[in-house]
Amino acid sequence: MTLLINIFFLLASVGLIVGIKLMGNPIRAKIGNVVALLAMFIAIVATDILLIQDSYKTINLILLISAISAGTLIGYYFSYRVEMTAMPQLVSLFNAFGGACAVIIGYNEALNYYHEPNTISALILISGVVLGGVSFSGSIVAMYKLSGKISHVNGGLYRYISKLLLVVMLLFTLSQLANSNGSLSLSFFILLISVLALVYGISFTLPIGGADMPVMISFLNAITGVATAFSGVIFDNPVMLIGGIIVGSTGMLLTFKMCKAMNRSLKNVLAGKTKSGGTIGGNKSGHQADIKTITSVEVASMLAFSKRVAIIPGFGMAVSQAQQACYEVHKKLESNGVQVKYIIHPVAGRMPGHMNVLLAEANIDYRHILEMDEVNQSMDQFDLAIIIGANDVVNPAAEDDQSSLIFGMPIIKAYKAKQVIVMKRGMSSGYSGETNTLFEKANCKLLFGDAKDSLTHILEELKKI
C-alpha cells in the first residue's frame, strides 16, 4: 500500500509540473489547467488512502471530504460571480487563502508535537507560519487597494511599524530556538508569531501605491509558494514541496518581469517609492490637451478602407465588457480581407494575463494576439490602431518626458501607426495619473463613449458599407 501511495504522489507531482508548463502557453493553458486539476485530484486520493489506513483517523477523512466540498462550492461561487474587472482581486483573495492555510497547517502541526522539535524543524515550521501570515493579510490589503476601497496612506508610520515588527519577530524566533525548554510552548509561540506576521503583512502592504499592487500580488504569491514548500517539508509531502517551489520561483520571475515592464525596481516597489519620491497617482494639473474627436461612422469608414488593423485592449475594455463586441467587429473586418491583430502589454489591465483571459472569454483565437515586443518595430505598418481602454501602456511620455512618473517604462508604440483611434469614456488619466501625450498627436483621434456601445455602432455601420 505504501508503494501505491508513493506512486500516486509521484504521478501528482509530475502532473502538476506538466500542467504548469502547459499554462505557459496561452493556447495550451486550458488543457494545462485540466492536467493540474487531475494531478491535485490524484494527490487528494492518495491522502484519503493514508487516512483510511488509520482507523483512528476516520474523523479526519470526514473533515477532509467536508473541507474539499466546501472549498469547491466557495471557489465555484466566487469564480462565476466575480466581474472580469475584479479578476486581479479574486487572484489576490485566493492567494490569501493559501497563506491562511500555511498558518493553520503550522499551528496544527505545533499542537501535534509531543516533544520539542529540533532547531531545523522548528525554524522551518516558524518560517512557514510567518510567510503564510504575511501573505494572508498582505493579499487582503492588496485586494482592497485594487478595488479602491483603501486609499493611499502616509507610508512613514507604517514602514516604521514594519521594521519594528520584523526585528521583534526575529528576536522572538532566535530566543525560542536558543531556548527550546523556555516558558513558551511551541504551539503558543506559533500563535504569537502568527499574530505578529498578520500585523506585519498589513503594515508592509499599506504604504505601497495602488499602481504597484499587481507587482505586490505576484510577490505575495511567491511568498505563499515558499510557505507551501515549507509545509511540504514538515509533512514530508513531495506534491506540496514541488508545488511550493514552482509557485515560489515562478512568482518571483513574474515579479521581476513586471518590474521590468513598468521600469520599476522591486526595491522601490516594496518601499512604496516612485521616481519623484511620491506616490503614483498624482496628475499634472492645469494642462489643456489639444485633442481631436471622431464619430463611430467615421471610424467604421476608416476601418473599411484599412488593410491592417491593430487592437490594443486595456482595463477599460474589461470595465465595459466590450470583448465580444470587439470580436464581432474583428470577424466582420476579417471577412472583408482586413488583417486584425491584438497587441497586449505585459501589465495591461491590472495584472499579467488579464487581457488574455478577457479575449479568451470572447473565443478570440490566440494566433491573432501579439505581445508588445513582437510588434513594436513594425507598428508603422498598421493602417489603424484602435486603443480600447488602455492608457499608460501607450503613453509616449514614457519615452520622451523625463519628468513623467512612467518615464522609461516600455510601451506599445501605437503612435507609430498611420492612424490612431482611442476609445474613452472621458478625459480621466490612467492608473499612474499621468497625462497621455498620445491624445495630442496629429494622427490620433478620440471616440468618447462606452466602448461596448461604440463598437456595436461601428459594427452596424460596417454592415452598411
Could you read off the pLDDT of 372-428 as tens digits, one per residue? 989 999 999 999 999 998 888 999 998 988 888 788 888 999 999 999 999 998 777
Cell numbers linked to 85: 474587472
In the listed set 246, 280, 314, which residue is the last one of a domain according to the structure?
Answer: 280
Residue 455 lies in a domain: yes
Contacts of 36 (CB under 8 A, 6+ apart): 15, 16, 19, 20, 23
pTM higher than the cut 0.75: yes
* Residue 333 in domain: yes
Looking at the structure, do residues 15 and 98 belong to the same domain, yes or no?
no
Judge whether 392 counts as a catalytic residue. Answer: yes
Residues 272 and 300 in one domain: no
For 436-456, b/e burial (b = at least 16 CB within 10 A) is bbbbebebbbbbebebbebbb
CA–CA distance from 218 to each of 127, 224, 450 (Å)? 19, 10, 31
The last residue of one of the domains, among 28, 57, 81, is 81
* Residues spanned by the domain of 44: 1-81
Question: Mapping DSSP to helix (H, G, I), strand (E, B) and coil, where does residue 142 land?
Answer: helix
Question: Are residues 450 and 301 part of one domain?
Answer: yes
Domain termination residue (choose one: 29, 53, 81): 81
Per-residue pLDDT at 88: 82
pLDDT value, residue 168: 94
Strand order in the sheet with 339-344: 369-371, 339-344, 308-313, 384-388, 420-424, 444-448
| 362/424 same-domain check | yes
Spans of the chain below 70 pLDDT:
1, 53-58, 113-117, 152, 154, 180-183, 210-211, 272-289, 429-432
Q: What is the pLDDT of residues 321-355, one digit of tens each?
A: 999 999 999 999 999 999 999 999 988 877 777 88
pLDDT at 31: 92
Residue 306: per-residue pLDDT: 95
- Same structural domain for residues 252 and 309? no
Q: Does residue 290 fall inside a structural domain?
A: no
- Residue 339 forms beta bridges with which residues? 308
| Same domain as 303, residue 173 | no
Asked whether the beta carbons of 233 and 117 are under 8 A apart, the reply is: no
C-beta of residue 361 within 8 angstroms of C-beta of residue 353: no
265 with 414, same domain: the answer is no
Instruction: Judge if 272 and 301 occupy the same domain.
Output: no
Domain assignment present for 287: no
The contacts of residue 94 (CB under 8 Å, 6+ apart) are 75
Are 316 and 437 part of one and the same domain? Answer: yes
301 and 436 share one domain: yes
Whether 51 is covered by a domain: the verdict is: yes
* Beta-carbon count within 10 A of 4 CB: 10
CATH number at residue 306: 3.40.50.1220
| Total domains, the chain | 3
Predicted confidence at residue 279, as pLDDT, reads 40
Rg (CA), the chain: 25
Domain presence at residue 286:
no
Answer yes or no: do 240 and 270 share one domain.
yes
Decide if 364 is inside a domain. Answer: yes
For residue 285, what pLDDT is reported? Answer: 45
Both 9 and 125 in one domain: the answer is no
Output the pLDDT for position 200: 95
Residue type, 180: S
Q: Tell me which of 373, 392, 450, 453 is the catalytic residue.
A: 392
Query: Quick one: how far is CA 137 from the chain centroid?
Result: 16
Q: Is residue 76 part of a domain?
A: yes
